[in-house]
């Protein structure tokens, strides 16, 4: 996603536990791309995309609570039972959206970029065989955060399909929509969302 956003004109700060490993990607993208620690990235950004194992979300929230407060946080984390342990039960019982909000208090949480495999984001955005862009569910209750996220979805070459945060379970792991690149018209139909 970061590559596509840089190409769309955004400044992107990449981070990981090992930011030195990001040197090659940053150099290949030019002056709009930087890399550093998670703390550096959160301080830099107005919008933060978090894509970590779901079990790591509480720690990310604790360590960055003050810095994330008031920021738009795109939650692309997926609770996977074989990997994430007990937090999966909590997410399934309470819903992914409310669980993410619990661990990212004060952040303006939007769920997006989690149901489609990362390989669909490699290279330039291309329409699917049907000639349509991939549809991307965008679930959130903060209107401005949803609008900003929807624009970032478009800037990545995808088409947003907006839902309330309570519907984030509709495209969670284990559902028929998870793990698939679905044309936007078909995704709207499956989610029962008008254009």
What are residue 162's DSSP bridge partners? 138
Number of domains in the chain: 1
SS3 76: coil
CA dihedral 12, 39, 63, 137 (to 10 degrees): 0
On whether residue 184 sits in a domain, the answer given is: yes
On whether residue 6 sits in a domain, the answer given is: no
* pLDDT score recorded for residue 119: 76
On whether residue 11 sits in a domain, the answer given is: no
N-terminal to C-terminal alpha carbon distance within the chain: 24
On whether residue 24 sits in a domain, the answer given is: no
* pLDDT score recorded for residue 118: 77
Identify which of 113, 106, 112 has the alpha carbon closest to the alpha carbon of residue 146: 112
Domain that holds residue 92: 46-191
CA dihedral 111, 119, 57, 157 (to 10 degrees): -30
* pLDDT score recorded for residue 60: 95
On whether residue 132 sits in a domain, the answer given is: yes
Give tens-digit pLDDT for 167-186: 999 999 999 999 889 999 99
* pLDDT score recorded for residue 129: 64
For position 136, which CATH number holds? 3.40.50.720
On whether residue 2 sits in a domain, the answer given is: no
User: Is pLDDT above 90 for 11?
Assistant: yes
Give tens-digit pLDDT for 116-171: 887 777 777 776 667 889 999 999 999 999 999 999 999 999 999 999 999 999 99
Q: Can you list the positions of beta strands (E) in 54-180?
A: 72-75, 108-111, 135-140, 159-163
Angle, to 10 degrees, between the axis of helix 87-94 and the axis of helix 96-103? 120
Mean residue pLDDT of the chain comes to 93
Give tens-digit pLDDT for 25-56: 999 999 999 999 999 999 999 999 999 999 99
120 or 192, higher pLDDT? 192
On whether residue 20 sits in a domain, the answer given is: no
User: Is pLDDT above 80 for 187?
Assistant: yes
On whether residue 19 sits in a domain, the answer given is: no
* pLDDT score recorded for residue 127: 66
């Amino acid at each position: 996603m970061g590559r596509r956003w840089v190409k769309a004109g955004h400044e992107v700060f990449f981070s990981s536990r090992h930011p030195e490993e990001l040197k090659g990607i940053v150099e290949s993208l030019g002056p709009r791309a930087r890399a550093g620690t998670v703390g550096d990235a959160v301080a830099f950004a107005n919008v933060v995309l978090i894509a970590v194992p779901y079990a790591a979300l509480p720690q990310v929230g604790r360590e960055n609570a003050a810095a994330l407060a008031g920021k738009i946080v795109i939650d692309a984390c997926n609770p996977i039972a074989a990997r994430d342990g007990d937090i999966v039960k909590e997410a399934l019982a309470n819903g992914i959206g409310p669980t993410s909000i619990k661990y990212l208090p004060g952040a303006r949480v939007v769920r997006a970029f989690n149901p489609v495999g990362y390989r669909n984001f490699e290279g330039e955005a291309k329409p699917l065989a049907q000639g349509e862009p991939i549809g991307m569910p965008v679930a959130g209750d903060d209107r401005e955060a949803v609008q900003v996220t929807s624009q970032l979805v478009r800037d990545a070459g995808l088409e947003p399909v907006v839902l309330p945060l309570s519907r984030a379970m509709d495209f969670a792991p284990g559902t028929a929509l998870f793990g698939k690149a679905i044309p936007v018209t078909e995704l709207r139909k499956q989610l029962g969302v008008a254009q």
